C-alpha cells in the first residue's frame, strides 16, 4: 500500500493532464521510443512534454490496463503551446488577442510565471495538439510493430490510433472543479442562467455553445409556450383559429435564428474563438490513399483523388440515401394501411380487443422507425467512412447531412402525409402529441437514466473493490484509481445526438405547433429537463471530452435555417388549408392557392432580406474586431517607416 | 514657346502620374502649405511625394485652370507605398503574395532599383492612397481658407474636396500604352478574347472585371442564342413549344452565375486582389456629423449615429422608393388603358391615322419611363447622400439598390402584367422585341456616339487652337497640353451604368426569352458592340479613372443572383400557363397549379443546393491560398521556436 502511495507521489511531480492508453500487447521498445519522442526537445522534433507510466493498479488487477501514461507539461511549454494553437486570451485592454509569449505580460490575469493563466481544459487541448503534431522523422515503422508504417512527417499518434496500438487518449477530470461546476450548474434548483463561462472553462467552447444554444432555444420558446396555453385552454376544438398562430410561428423562427447568430458571435468573441485562425487540419486517422505530397504543406501524406470521392458520394451514397427514404416512405404507407384496416375492424365490431388493435399499428410503426434509424445510422457511418474524407470536419458534415435527412424524413413524413394528403387536422394533432410525448420520455430514459444507472453500478463495484483493499475514510481516490476509473467511463461522442434531438424538437414546434399549440410548452419542459440530464451526464457519466475551440454551432445553424424555410412553406400551406381562409375565397380554389403561393413567396423573400439586413455579428464586436485589425496594420506600418528611415539613413 | 518647353522639362524631372486641380481662387498660402505637406518627409507626417505646378498654358488662356499640379514619386517611395496599400504581386515561386520592401528581390520581375516593377496604374493608385491618407497635424483650418476646418487626423485632400477647393484629381493617360492597348482591344476586327490582363494593367482590376464579366456573359449567351435561332425560324407562331426552352433557361442561368464566381475568383487571384486585405476605409468626403473619436482608429472624425441613419433609410427612403414604384405602376396602368382605347378606336374605324394612333401610347410610355428614370436617379442620389453614409462603399450599395429596384420595375412591370394578368403571349413577345431593340439602339447612341461626337468636336477645337499657336509636325502634344486636354475630358463615373445595362439585358433573357427565343441573339449582338463602344469610350472619351482593386463584381453578383431566382419563378409560371402543360391536367386547374408550385419549389431548392455544392473558388486556387496561409503559420512557428530556444539559453 505504501508503495502505491509513493508511486502516486512520483507521478504527481507534474500535474497530469492527459491520459494515453496503449494496448496491453504493445512492445516494450515501442513504448520506450514513444516516451522518448514525447519527451524530446522541440528542436530535435520532439513534443517536449512530461510523461510517466501510471504505477500498476492495486492487487490482482495488474493485467488490467497495464499501459496507462500520464502526460503533462511545464508552464513554459504550455504557454508556448498556447501560441502554437493560436489561443485567444483577454488582453489587459479588455479585447481578445492571440496569445504570444513575447507579449505575455500584457494579458490580463497573467501573473509571475503564468501559473494558472491557462485553464486546465486549455492545457489539455494544447497537449492534445502537441501530441497530434508529433511527427515521425526518419523512422520507417513503429519500433516493434512493423505493420505500423511511418514516413517523415506522419503524425505518430494518428498512426498508433489507426493501427489500434493507441486505445484511447483522454483528458482527466478535476474533482474539485467538477464538484463546484456541477453544484452551480444543476444541483441547486434555481431560476438562473447556466454558468456558461464555467462550462466553457471546464469543457471548452464547443460544449458551452451547445448548452448556450439549448438555453437560448428554451427561452426563445417561452413566448410560443405562453401564447400556446390559452390556445389550448380555450380553443382546443376550434382549430381553424390557428392562422394567427402560424403567422407568429413564421416570424418567430426567422427572428430567433438570426438573433442566435449574434448571440453565438458574442459568446465566441468572449471566449476568444471568433477570430481565431484554425490551424492546418491533419488528415483523419482512418484516411487512406496513395502516398504523395500534400500540395499545401509539401509534407508526405496519403492522397485520394477528389473525383473518386465525388463518385462515391454521388453514385453510391446519394442513391443509397434516396433508397432509404423511399423505403421509409413505403413503411409509412404500410402503417397507414394497417391503421385503416384496424380502424375498419374496430368499426365493424367494436370490442375491447379491437380497441387494443387500434394501438398495434402505431406501436409497430414506432418500433420499426427506431430500428430503421439505428440500422441507417450504422450504414451512414459505414458509408461516410468508405467515402474516405481527408478531414474530420468534412467527415462529420457528410455524416450529419445523411443522418439529418433520414431522421427528418422518418419523424415528419407521416405528419406531412396526414396534413397535406389526408387533410385530417384532428389526427395530425393526435399524432404530433403522441410523437412528442413518447419521444421525449424515451429520450430522457435513454440519455440520462440508463447511463446514470449503469455508471452508478460500476462506481459502486469500484468503490467496493477499493474498500476491500483498504479502508478509506473519505471517498477521495488516489490519482491512480481515479485514472483507472475514468478510463472505464463511457466516451462522450460529441454533441451530434444532442443537436439532432433539438433539431427535431425545433421541427415539431416550427412546422406544426399551430395545430397543437401545446407543443412549445412540452418542448420547453423537455429542454429544462434536458439541461439537467445533459449536465449530469457530462459531469458524471462520461469521460471528460477534449475541448473544441468552436466559433459557432457549425452545420447545425444551416440545418436549423433550412428547417425554418420548410416551416414557412408548411405554415403557409396550413394557413391556406384552414377553413377560416377558405371562407374568403368561396368560389374559386384556384384564387386561394394562387394567393397562398404569392404570400408564401413574399414571406420567403422577406425572410432572406431579413437574413441580409440583420448583421451576424453585433456592432460592438465588429468594432472591436476592426480595431484589432487596424492596430495590427498600423503597427506594421510604423515598423516599416522606422525600417525605411533607417534604410535611407544608411543610403545617405 | 521656348519657355513653355523648358517649363515642361523642369516638370518632367520626375514622371508625372496624377494631376490635382485646385480652384482658381485658391489662396497662395493654401497652395504653398499643401505643397509643403505633400513634399514633407513621412516621419514628419508628410506624404513624401514629388509635386510641381504645371506651367501656365500657352498664350491667352492663362486664366483657364491656373492651378494644375503634377504629382509623382521616387521609385523608392512608390515601393514603400505599395506595401502600405497591401499590393499583391507575383512571387518568384509563381504565387501571389503581399509585396514587402524587405522581400522585394523575391518577387518576379523585380530588377535592380524596382523601375518598371509597378504598373503606372498601380503607381497612380498608390499616389491617390498616399494623398488621401495625408492627415492634418495641428492645423485648425486650411491656411487662407478659414471655412475649411481641420483637426488632427483629418484627411486633408478630402476636406479640400468637400469644400470645393480641390476641383478634381485624376491620373494621366499614357499615350503609347493607350495606343497599343486600344489596338489589341478593339481596333482590329478579330475573333479573340479581350486582352483582359492589359486592360487590368492599364485601368485596374475593377474595370478589367467588368470587361471580363461582359465577355463571359456574352459567351454564356451563345448556347442560348444557338438554340434560339431554330426556335425562331421554325416555331415562330407555335409558342406553346417553349417549355423545353424555359427549362433550359432555368438551368442555364443558375449554372453560369455559379461558374462566373469561380471565373472571377481566378481572375482576382491572378491579379492579386483575391486575398488582398482592404485598408481601413476613410469616411467619404460628404459625410458629416458631430466631431468625436472613431472607436476603431481612435482618430478624431465626424460621428453620425447609426440609429438616425436607419431611421432615414427605413422611414424616408424606403417609403419614397415604394411610392415611386406605385407611381410607376400607375403610369403603366394608364398606358394599358390608352393602348386599349387606341385599339378600340382603330377597330371602329381603321384608317391610316388610327394606325398611327396605335403607336402613340407606346411612344408616350417610353418617353415617360425615360423621364421617370432620370428624375428618380437624381432623387435616389439626393436621398442616399442625405442618408449620410460613412463609407463610399455603403453609399454605393444603397444607391445601387435603390436604382436597381426602380429600373427593374420600370422595365419589367409591363411585361409581367402582359404575361400574368393579360395572359397574352403574342403581345408579350411583341413588347419584348420592341423594348429590347429600342433600348439597345438608344443605349448605343447615348453611350458611344454622342460622347464620341462631343469629344471629337472638343479635340478638334483644341488641336486647332494649338495649331494656331504653333506648327506641329505630328499631333503629339507637349505634356502641358496633354494635361490640360485630359482635365477637360468627361469624368468616368464608374461601372454602375454599364452593369445596370447588363443586368436589364440578363433580365430580358432569363425571364422571358422562352417567349421570344431571339432575345439571346439580340443580346449577344448588343454585347459585342458594347465591348467596342465601352472600350472606345474608356480609351478616348473619358479621363483615365483611378484603378480600383476589386476582387469581384460586388453587389452586382447578388443582383444577378436575385434575378436568377426571379427567373425560376417566372419561368415556372410561364410553363404552368403553357397550353402544352395545361393539356396534361384537362380537368383540374388546381392540380396544375399545385404541381407547378411543387416543381418550382423543387427547382429553387436544387438551385440553392447547387450554390452550396459548387465551390466559389476553384480547387487549385484554394490550394494556393491554403499554402500561403500554412507557410506564414510555419514561418511564425519556426521564428518562435528559435526565440524560445534562445530564451531558454538565457534562462540557463
Query: In angstroms, what CA-CA distances link B148 with A388, B33, B143?
Result: 66, 14, 9
Interface of B with A in 591-610 (CB under 8 A): 593-594, 597, 601
**pLDDT averaged over chain A?**
83
pLDDT-wise least confident of A110-124, A457-471, B148-162: A457-471
pLDDT single digits (tens) B604-613: 998 888 888 8
Q: B266 phi and psi, to 5 degrees?
A: -60, -45
Q: Is A473 exposed, middle or buried (0-12, 13-18, 19+ CB in 10 A)?
A: exposed
Q: Residue A272: what pLDDT?
A: 87
Contacts of A295 in chain B (CB under 8 A): 623, 627
With b for 16 or more beta-carbon neighbours within 10 A and e for fewer, the B127-162 pattern comes to: bbbbbbbbbbeebebbbebeebebbeebbbbbbbbb
CB-CB: which of A296, A641, A643 is closest to B623?
A296
Contacts of A648 in chain B (CB under 8 A): 76
Chain B closest-CA separation from residue A589 CA (Å): 7
Is the model's pLDDT at B652 over the cut of 50? no
Mutate to test the interface with A, among B630, B636, B647 (most CBs of A within 10 A): B630
The residue of chain A nearest to residue B651, with distances taken between CA atoms, is: A76
Is the model's pLDDT at A231 over the cut of 90? no
Contacts of B641 in chain A (CB under 8 A): 42-43
**CB-based contacts of B282: which residues, under 8 Å, 6+ apart?**
B132, B133, B155, B158
Mutate to test the interface with A, among B404, B626, B635, B645 (most CBs of A within 10 A): B626
Cα dihedral value A128, A133, A137, A140, nearest 10: 70
Cβ of A296 within 8 Å of Cβ of B597? The answer is no
Confidence tier at B47 by pLDDT (50, 70, 90):
confident
Q: What is the ipTM of this complex?
A: 0.84
> B235 by DSSP, 3-state: which?
coil
Percent composition of chain B: helix, strand, coil (DSSP 3-state, to 5): 65, 5, 25
Q: If we measure between CA atoms, which residue out of A455, A616, A472, A482 comes closest to residue A542?
A: A455
Q: Residue A57: what pLDDT?
A: 54
Q: Residue B4: what pLDDT?
A: 37
Is the model's pLDDT at A269 over the cut of 70? yes
Please state the pTM of the whole predicted model: 0.87
pLDDT-wise least confident of A282-291, B39-48, B498-507: A282-291
pLDDT single digits (tens) B329-382: 999 999 999 988 988 988 888 888 888 887 788 888 888 888 898 899 999 999
Residue B39 contacts A where some CB pair is shorter than 8 Å: no
Residue B84 contacts A where some CB pair is shorter than 8 Å: yes
Confidence tier at A5 by pLDDT (50, 70, 90):
very low
Query: In angstroms, what CA-CA distances link A46 with A42, A54, A132, A159, A341?
Result: 5, 21, 12, 16, 71
What is the distance between the alpha carbons of residues A96 and A620, in angstroms, rounded to a whole number?
13
- DSSP code, position A12: T
The residue of chain B nearest to residue A295, with distances taken between CA atoms, is: B623
Confidence tier at A240 by pLDDT (50, 70, 90):
low
Higher pLDDT, B462 or B95: B95
Interface of A with B in 282-301 (CB under 8 A): 295-297
Q: Residue A447: what pLDDT?
A: 72
pLDDT single digits (tens) B228-257: 887 777 765 555 566 777 778 778 888 899
Is the model's pLDDT at B13 over the cut of 60? yes
Q: Residue B8: what pLDDT?
A: 42
Q: Residue B3: what pLDDT?
A: 36
Contacts of B102 in chain A (CB under 8 A): 643
The residue of chain B nearest to residue A628, with distances taken between CA atoms, is: B296
Cβ of A590 within 8 Å of Cβ of B594? The answer is no
Contacts of A277 in chain B (CB under 8 A): 629, 633
Chain A closest-CA separation from residue B464 CA (Å): 49
Cβ of B306 within 8 Å of Cβ of A83? The answer is no
Widest distance between CA atoms in chain A: 111
Contacts of A43 in chain B (CB under 8 A): 641, 645
Bridge-based pairing state of the strands A145-149 and A141-142: antiparallel
Confidence tier at A58 by pLDDT (50, 70, 90):
low
Q: Residue A473: what pLDDT?
A: 43
What is the distance between the alpha carbons of residues B37 and B31, in angstroms, rounded to a whole number?
10
Is the model's pLDDT at A616 over the cut of 80? yes
**pLDDT averaged over chain B?**
83
**CB-based contacts of A34: which residues, under 8 Å, 6+ apart?**
A22, A142, A156, A160
What is the distance between the alpha carbons of residues A19 and A7, in angstroms, rounded to a whole number?
16
Q: Residue A469: what pLDDT?
A: 55
CB-CB: which of B280, B295, B633 is closest to A623?
B295
Residues A621 and A261 sit within 8 Å (Cβ to Cβ): no
Residues paired with residue B18 on neighbouring β-strands, in sequence order = B71, B171
Contacts of B640 in chain A (CB under 8 A): 80, 83-84, 100-101
What is the grid cell recorded at A26?
504493445
Contacts of A42 in chain B (CB under 8 A): 641, 644-645
Residues B250 and B571 sit within 8 Å (Cβ to Cβ): yes
> A268 by DSSP, 3-state: which?
helix
Cβ of A83 within 8 Å of Cβ of B640? The answer is yes
Q: Rounded mean pLDDT of A497-504?
A: 90
Q: If we measure between CA atoms, which residue out of B277, B282, B296 comes closest to residue B83?
A: B277
What is the distance between the alpha carbons of residues A562 and B611, in angstroms, rounded to a whole number?
14
Contacts of B645 in chain A (CB under 8 A): 42-43
Confidence tier at A477 by pLDDT (50, 70, 90):
low
Cβ of B569 within 8 Å of Cβ of A601? The answer is yes
Q: Is A516 exposed, middle or buried (0-12, 13-18, 19+ CB in 10 A)?
A: buried
Residues A380 and A406 sit within 8 Å (Cβ to Cβ): yes
Contacts of A84 in chain B (CB under 8 A): 637, 640
Q: Residue B468: what pLDDT?
A: 59
pLDDT-wise least confident of A17-26, B184-193, B439-448: B184-193
pLDDT single digits (tens) B522-569: 899 888 888 888 888 888 888 899 988 888 898 899 999 999 999 999
pLDDT-wise least confident of A237-241, A374-378, A496-500, B606-610: A237-241
First to last CA, chain A: 79
Residue B455 contacts A where some CB pair is shorter than 8 Å: no
Residue A590 contacts B where some CB pair is shorter than 8 Å: yes
Amino acid at each position: 500500500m505504501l508503495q502505491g502511495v509513493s508511486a502516486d507521489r512520483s507521478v504527481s511531480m507534474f500535474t497530469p493532464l492527459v491520459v494515453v492508453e496503449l494496448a496491453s500487447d504493445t512492445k516494450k521498445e515501442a513504448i520506450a521510443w514513444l516516451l522518448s519522442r514525447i519527451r524530446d526537445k522541440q528542436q530535435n522534433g520532439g513534443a517536449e512534454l512530461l510523461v510517466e507510466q501510471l504505477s500498476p493498479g492495486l492487487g490482482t488487477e495488474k493485467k488490467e490496463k497495464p499501459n496507462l501514461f500520464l502526460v503533462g507539461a511545464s508552464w513554459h511549454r504550455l504557454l508556448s503551446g498556447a501560441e502554437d494553437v493560436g489561443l485567444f486570451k483577454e488582453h489587459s485592454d479588455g479585447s481578445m488577442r492571440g496569445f504570444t509569449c513575447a507579449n505575455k505580460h500584457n494579458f490580463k490575469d497573467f501573473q509571475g510565471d503564468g501559473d494558472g493563466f491557462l485553464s486546465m481544459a486549455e492545457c489539455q487541448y494544447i497537449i492534445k495538439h502537441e501530441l497530434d503534431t508529433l511527427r515521425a522523422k526518419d523512422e520507417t515503422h513503429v519500433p516493434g510493430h512493423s505493420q505500423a508504417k511511418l514516413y517523415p512527417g506522419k503524425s505518430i499518434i494518428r498512426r498508433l490510433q489507426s493501427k489500434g496500438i493507441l486505445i484511447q487518449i483522454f483528458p482527466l477530470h478535476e474533482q474539485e472543479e467538477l464538484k463546484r461546476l456541477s453544484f452551480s450548474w444543476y444541483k441547486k434548483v434555481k431560476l438562473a442562467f447556466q454558468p456558461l463561462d464555467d462550462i466553457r472553462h471546464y469543457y471548452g467552447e464547443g460544449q458551452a455553445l451547445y448548452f448556450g444554444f439549448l438555453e437560448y432555444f428554451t427561452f426563445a420558446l417561452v413566448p410560443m409556450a405562453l401564447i400556446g396555453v390559452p390556445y389550448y385552454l380555450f380553443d382546443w376544438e376550434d382549430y381553424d383559429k390557428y392562422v394567427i398562430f402560424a403567422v407568429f410561428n413564421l416570424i418567430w423562427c426567422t427572428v430567433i435564428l438570426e438573433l442566435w447568430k449574434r448571440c453565438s458571435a458574442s459568446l465566441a468573441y468572449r471566449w476568444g474563438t471568433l477570430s481565431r485562425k484554425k490551424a492546418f487540419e491533419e488528415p483523419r486517422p482512418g484516411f487512406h490513399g496513395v502516398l504523395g505530397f500534400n500540395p499545401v504543406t509539401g509534407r508526405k501524406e496519403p492522397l485520394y483523388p477528389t473525383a473518386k470521392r465525388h463518385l462515391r458520394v454521388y453514385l453510391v451514397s446519394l442513391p443509397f440515401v434516396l433508397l432509404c427514404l423511399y423505403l421509409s416512405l413505403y413503411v409509412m404507407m404500410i402503417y397507414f394501411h394497417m391503421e385503416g384496416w384496424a380502424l375498419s375492424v374496430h368499426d365493424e365490431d367494436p370490442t375491447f380487443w379491437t380497441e387494443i388493435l387500434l394501438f398495434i399499428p402505431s406501436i409497430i410503426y414506432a418500433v420499426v422507425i427506431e430500428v430503421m434509424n439505428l440500422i441507417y445510422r450504422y450504414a451512414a457511418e459505414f458509408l461516410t467512412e468508405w467515402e474516405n474524407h481527408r478531414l474530420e470536419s468534412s467527415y462529420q458534415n457528410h455524416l450529419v447531412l445523411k443522418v439529418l435527412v433520414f431522421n427528418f424524413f422518418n419523424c415528419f413524413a407521416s405528419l406531412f402525409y396526414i396534413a397535406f394528403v389526408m387533410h385530417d387536422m384532428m389526427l395530425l394533432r393526435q399524432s404530433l402529441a403522441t410523437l412528442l410525448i413518447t419521444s421525449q420520455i424515451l429520450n430522457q430514459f435513454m440519455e440520462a437514466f440508463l447511463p446514470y444507472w449503469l455508471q452508478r453500478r460500476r462506481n459502486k463495484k469500484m468503490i467496493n473493490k477499493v474498500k476491500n483493499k483498504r479502508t478509506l475514510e473519505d471517498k477521495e481516490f488516489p490519482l491512480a484509481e481515479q485514472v483507472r476509473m475514468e478510463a472505464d467511463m463511457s466516451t462522450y461522442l460529441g454533441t451530434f445526438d444532442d443537436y439532432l434531438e433539438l433539431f427535431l424538437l425545433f421541427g415539431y414546434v416550427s412546422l406544426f405547433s399551430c395545430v397543437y399549440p401545446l407543443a412549445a410548452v412540452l418542448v420547453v419542459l423537455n429542454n429544462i429537463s434536458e439541461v439537467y440530464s445533459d449536465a449530469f451526464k457530462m459531469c458524471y457519466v462520461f469521460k471528460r471530452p477534449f475541448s473544441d475551440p468552436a466559433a459557432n454551432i457549425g452545420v447545425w445553424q444551416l440545418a436549423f435555417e433550412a428547417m425554418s424555410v420548410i416551416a414557412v412553406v408548411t405554415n403557409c400551406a396550413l394557413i391556406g388549408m384552414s377553413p377560416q381562409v377558405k371562407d374568403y375565397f368561396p368560389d374559386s380554389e384556384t384564387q386561394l392557392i394562387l394567393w397562398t403561393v404569392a404570400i408564401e413567396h413574399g414571406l420567403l423573400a422577406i425572410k432572406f432580406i431579413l437574413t441580409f439586413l440583420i448583421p451576424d455579428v453585433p456592432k460592438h464586436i465588429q468594432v472591436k474586431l476592426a480595431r484589432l485589425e487596424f492596430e495590427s496594420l498600423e503597427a506594421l506600418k510604423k515598423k516599416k517607416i522606422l525600417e525605411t528611415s533607417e534604410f535611407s539613413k544608411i543610403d545617405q
